[in-house]
Structures are given as structure tokens and as C-alpha cells.
Structure 1
Amino acid sequence: MAAALPLRNLEDEVLCSICLDYLKEPVTIDCGHVFCYSCIIKVCECSGQPLYCSLCKTAFKKENIRHVWQMASLVENIWRMKIDQDRQPREDRPPEKRTEKLCGRHLEKLHYYCKDDQQILCVMCRESPEHKHHAAVLLEKAAKPYRGKILNHLKILKADRDRIQNFQSTREDEIQTLLTELQNHRQSIVSVFEQGHQFLREKEQYLLDLLVGLEQELIEGRSSHSTRGSEEVVRLGTLISELEKKVRQPALELLQDTSDIISRYPRKKFWIEKPIISPAVKKRAEEFSDKILILEKGLRGFHGKLTRDLEYKTMRVILNAQTANGYLLVSPDGKSVILTDLWMNRCQHWQQFDPEPGVLGSQGFTWGKVCWEVKVDRIWWREEEEEEVAKHRGAVFGGVLGITDAHSSGFRNESEELEEQWAQEDGMWSKFCLVVGVARESVERRGSLTFTPEEGFWTLQLSSAGVWIRTGPEPFQVLSYCPRQIGIALDYDGGKVTFTNARTQEFIYEFSSSFTGRIFPFLLVNCMRSRLTLKP
């Protein structure tokens, strides 16, 4: 270690300040500084007159350049000392030398890079015959363009990293915001349901208190009537015993007291002829029964509406006029359909139902839970509308005729009477004149149709007498009246079609099946006095 430091100092003294390598053929100039002969000649050839020393800037003349042979001998000796030191065992070398990479051939430090052979060279390799005439530059100069390429690529990679980090940060903020929002939703759900539970508990307690009050009145009344009855039975038993003794007396004793025996032993009109339960209590009990019916109906409606609104997506269904039977008139907005006595389409389309007056929706479903409603109206045409239709007989439907609002010219709604009254009107509808539900896209559209799941139909069949469904050869009735508004809920993945009374949320019927292909809304109108309207 002590010997390495003086050698390093001597090595610094024999380096050329131009090529930064050991002096080769050392020469001196007018100022006394020493350079490699080849290096100073290159300076002289590249520079103009006068010439200046690269170290002290003193002017010199080319003809005054002299060789310093003693310096050449000194450089050689120092170089040999360095080789001997490098050949020492690795564990005996200084720590800073152990990590240096040396030329495997000459054990010299690597200073140059041969561009021709793309090899790293030491001083001796550079002067060797195989590299002497090659373009060799210092390692730092050779590494500069590669370092530049690396820096440029590094810049690109850092930019990519920054973009990714910004993207992650942005997405993390979005996710955190959404998580916070969901947490707020969680708290809202808990709060809303707690309020709902509290409301239901209060109403439950209210009804139970009413029930307890009625029971208490009935129990107290029963106890009072029982007590009074027992007392009257005892009194009557006493009177009966006295009269039985009286009737057994001899005639002499009996006739000694001829006063009115009946008046002496009166018969009291007992309360048994009066109602045991007071009319007020009976009325309250009947009102309580009505409250229970209202509770059950309200809970069914609440359950159905909440299930539909939370689990199902309400769809805006539009009818596909190209699938409509030629006698059907679809409104311009695709929301309503009626049956006419005129053929509305000039040419028959391959998608049409014929002869059945059916029509499909324009959008089919292959996944998810969706719902919509169908409003059922009974209408009639006025004479001027019939004349207007006659003018367009045989024309292709393209918005010339339209379905107007229920209160506009052309159609008239029935008043908002109870739905059950529909069934009481005779001769208004034919049997199964309306069909609502869903159908598979591939259903048969020519000839008579059988509205069964096997044929690809999941529907309700409506008439003035009620609602029927068909799962086999014969239909069977599920309602004794026809609802004014029917809710249809399709759960494609769950294989269910559920029908409800959309006004009361009363359950009507549910089909369970396994769907394949696209499922479309389906309507059929086979009655001149009816109209079906999709909602919303």
C-alpha cells in the first residue's frame, strides 16, 4: 500500500497531457513541457502559426522540438514497475485495484475502444499490430453516444413510469371516491331500513295494541256476562225450588193464600235476548279485519314494487312495425297498437305474423333483469276516424295514421271504474282477445299460434272474464278480472317471466323456464275495441 502511492505519483508524471496516456517517444518544446512525439506533431499540423504549448500557452517553434531519451527510459521503467505490481496476488493488491478490470492479455488498465473490432483495449493492445492502424478512442469518448442513447431511453422509461404512476394515482382517487360514495350508500341503506323497520315496528305495535284492546273488551264482557248469568241461574233455581214446594202442598194449604202467585214469583226478562257482543265492538273487530287486509295488500304491493325497482331495469320498449300483422296499426312512436278492419301494409314482410294479429318489440334481450308495463284500454272509433282510415285503405303504414292520447280525438277511454266491473259487461270482448308477454325470436309466425312455453311464448291471455295462462293443451284461469295495467318482468339469467297487476303490485303468475336466443316483448290484439300501450 505504501509503495503503491509513490508509483501512482510517478505514473502521473509520465502521462502525456494531450492523449492522457504513457509518453511514447517523449519530446520537449521551448517551454520545457514534455509530450508524445506524435501528439505534438498533430498539434503542429492542425494549428496555425505561431504554435502554443497546450499547458502554459507559451509560443514554441516546430524546429526546436527535441527528443528526451532519458524520459523514454524512465517511462519504460515505470511501466515495468506497474506491470510487476499488477501481477501481485489479488489479495495483496490494494482494495481500489482489486475492483479494476485489467486487460486479460497484458494485465494493463483498459483505456481505449477499437471501433473497427468493437473491443476494449489497453495501451499495449492499442500498439499491437492487430490494432495499431485501427480507429481507437478513449473509453469515455466511445461510451458517450451509448450513454446518450441510454439517457434518451431512460427519459422515455421515466416518462412511461410517471404516466403509469399518474394513471394509478388518478384511478386510485376515482376508486377511493367511489368507495367513499359506496360507504355513504351503505350508511344510507342502514339508515333507511332502520327507519323502515322502526315504522313497521310502530305499526305492528299499533295493530297489536288494537288487538289486545279488543281481546280485553271481549274477555271482560264474557266475564261480566258469565257472572250475571250465574247469578240469574241461582235466583231462578231458588224460585223454582219454592214453586215446586208450593205445587206439592195440599189443596187446603194451597188455597189459604190465593193471591197471584205469578206476581209473587215474577219472571224477569233476562239479557240473553240481547246481543252478547256490543255493536261497537263488532264494528271495531270488522274494521280491524279490514286493516289486516289492507296491511297484507300493502305489503304485497310494497314487496313487488321494491323488488322490481331495485332488481330490475325499467326498459322503454318500442314495437317493431315490420313484425306486425297487416291488420294491426302501430302508432308512429311505436308505443301503441290496435286492430283495424283494413290491411295496413301494401306488401307482406317476412317478419310479419300472419294470420295472427301479433307484433314483437324492436329490442330483444339475452341477459339481465328488465321490466316494462302494458296498459290495456277499451276504445271505439268514431265515424270520422273510420272515414279517415278508409281513405288510406291499402297504404303502407308510415305514420299517416297514429294512435293519439286517450283523451284526444279518435279514441275514448272508459272511466276509471273498478277493474272487476270489466268482467260484468257481457259481449264486450271475445275470449282471449288480448295477449301480452314475451316470445322467442325464432317463434313460428305463419299460421295459428299456440301460446305455450314449448312454442316459445310466455304470455297472459286476457278477456273480459279474466286472465288465463297456458302451459299445456288447455288454458287455465288465474284471475277473475282483467287488470288495467300489467307489469312484465323478465329475468333472462334466472329463467323467469313474472306478471303483476302494475297498479296494485298484486302477483298474477310466474313462468319458470330456460331461455335460449333473444327474447322479445310480444303483444297480440284480436279485438276491435281494445288497445295495448307500452309504458314507459
Structure 2
Amino acid sequence: MALAILVDVKEEVTCPICLELLTEPQSLDCGHSFCQSCITANHTKLTVGQEGESCCPVCRVSYQPGSLRPNRHLANIVERLRVANLSPEEGQKVDCCARHGEKLLLFCKQDGKVICWLCERSQEHRDHQTFLLEEVAQEYQEKLQVTLDELMKKQQTIEKWKVDIHEERTSWKNQTQQDKKAVQAEFARLRGIVDSEEQTELQKLEKEEGDVLHSLKESENELAQQSQVVKDLISDLEHRLEGSAIEMLQDANDIMKRNEILILNKPKMFPKKKRVFRAPDLKRNAESVQRGKKSPVRLGRRFPSVSPSTVVNPTVFLDSPCLL
């Protein structure tokens, strides 16, 4: 009942020319009211006679442009209607146009929106292709189902990449632990001579692990963000496909476009290659120290420092090799 009254009121304050709610309403002596811009444009087009008279677009009664008078009462009603349309759930629960109060029976393909017959005649949709809802419902249900299938495949890809990231993290941790043990075993025999060098090498390994794991963590976070975007789109589509034709078609083009421009970024992996650690002849140097020669023990760089943006490359030392 309240909705019917609201529709009747909207009809009273709708401009007969543009079919929108009155903007700066102007009334003629015949009693009909129009938007100021609409009646001014009408006067420019339809001026007749020598005295500049025009005809009312509704009843064809002649009027003088100077006889136009602002209608404050209609302006107040329009303002209240616009405020009422901003609140509510009551209007949204009914399959009626929020702007005109008419039933939503048409679909505009250009804008991807469900509209009423008054919307179709408005300037916003006048030159657009419109169809009855039942004519396009099946087509868009199939399109949205295809979009949903694509999103589901993308989500499956993300889940696979998550597993790859987890396995990569574990592999890197295990390999780093093996590297640590190899370094510790090599230096344990001559710890008194090369203790400081051992610590240096361990720190390099720790940095390598930290840099790689940090990069993998960033990739993991990025995957989580991509996953959330895809899940949100999936949830939206599932809700649309389970709902009414109006809910499914409203902004359907937009969500399909969002899927088309959604490009998944595959996380970067770090190759795990065998690295060669070449230490100097520590035994010979140790014996030299014991004989009092105190020959310096020189260790070159074993690994370069690793950053998330670089691939690990082996740096080869001279002298005795130890394969890690």
C-alpha cells in the first residue's frame, strides 16, 4: 500500500519531458510542471507567433515564457523522495525501480543493469539495446557460469601454488640444515684455528636462508591476497546464480570484466643447485701454526649474499673442495 502511494506521488513529480524527477520545477498557468531546463529547451524548439508564445507539451495551451513560475512545493516533495530513496531496505526488497517505482522488467546490455520502462525512455538509456529479463537470463546465466568455472580453476591453481610454496620452504630449510652440518663438520677438526671463519660462513648461510624464506613469505602473502580476491568473486557469483534473475543480471558485465582483467602472479621459486665449498688446506696451515710459522689462514668468499631478487650462484674457492 505504501509503495503504491509512493509510486503515485512520483508520477505527480515526474517531468513529462525527460521522465525524471523534477529538477528546479517550473509551473505553467495551465497547471502542468516541468524541469526548468526541459521547458526552456521546449520553448526554444516550439516558439510560435510573433510574440514568442509557446505551447504546453502536455495540453498544448499557449503560454508566455515570462509566465513560468518556480514551484517550491513540488521541489520540496522531490527532495523528500530523493532522501527516502537513499534509505532503504524496503524499496530494495521489492522488484521495483528505485528511481521511478516501476517494475524492473528490462535489461540494458550496454550498462549491464536491470531497468524499468521509464528508465528505457530516459536519456541515460534511450539509444541502448534493452531486452526483457527472460530473454537474456539464460544467456547471462551461461556466461556467469563460465566465469565461475574460470575463477574456480584459478583458485585451484592458487591452492597448488600454495602447496608448492610450502614444499619449497621445507626444502630450503632442510637443505640449509644440511649445509650447516657440512660446514660445522668441516670446521670442527680445526676449530681452534678457524673458529672465526666458521662463524662467518654460518652467518652467510643464515642470511641466505633468511633472504630466500623472506622472499617466499612475500610470495605466500601475495598468493593469499590473490586467493581472497578470487574467493570474493566466487562468492559474489554463487550468490548471484542462486538468486533471482534481477540479482544475477545486475552489474553482470562488471563482474565478468573483473574476472577478465584478473591475472594471477605465479610465485618466484629459487633453484636449488649443488654448491661447491672450497676451503684452504687447513691441515697444512694448522701444522704450520703448530711449528710456529703462524702462516695466515685465508678463506675466500664461499657464497654471495642473497637478496629476494637474485638467484643463488655458487662462488668457488681455491684449494680443497667440499661438496654441499
TM surpasses 0.5: no
User: Larger % of helix: which?
Assistant: 2
More strand by share: 1
Who wins on radius of gyration, i.e. which is larger? 1
**TM-score using structure 1 length:** 0.19
